[in-house]
Amino acid sequence: MRKLFFSAAFLLGAGAASADPIEGIWQTQPDEGAFAHVTIAPCGQAFCGTISRTFKDKTEYQSPNIGRQIVIDMAAQGGDNYEGRIWRPANNKIYMGKAKISGDQMSLSGCVAGGLLCKSQTWVRVQ
């Protein structure tokens, strides 16, 4: 019994240690005083991010965007780089997206025209 407990604890610890760098809860860059927490988790062979909390002027509020997917099918490209799609709530459009993880920061960009025109934000890991 004791051996089984230690084996299970080791496997659980190994699973937690192998989490992908993009997984977690990220805070978006503030835009006109509003920001969100986005929970990124595996979805199929890629990663997706769903708006889990929203804030305006540092006060939490119930945005209609809670539960909406903002990061769509981000696939690892190696070297903490990811490619997929990003939904922009301000205009309800989906763009080609790229993400680069560096420690507890993520540089996220949405692009048009084959990647020639991009806008980017820096998100910070909350959890």
Q: Residues 100-108: contacts with CB within 8 Å, 24+ apart?
A: 101/21, 101/22, 106/22, 106/26, 108/71
Share of the chain above pLDDT 70, in %: 84
**Which backbone phi and psi does 118 adopt, to 5 degrees?**
-130, 150
Q: How far apart are CA 99 and CA 60, in angstroms?
A: 26
Distances (CA, A) of 31 to 28, 40, 89, 105, 118: 9, 20, 12, 17, 17
Q: How far apart are CA 97 and CA 108, in angstroms?
A: 7
pTM (2 decimals)?
0.81
Predicted confidence (pLDDT) per residue in 80-115, tens digit: 999 999 998 888 999 999 999 999 999 999 988 776
User: What pLDDT, in 10s, does the model give residues 44-59?
Assistant: 999 999 999 999 988 9
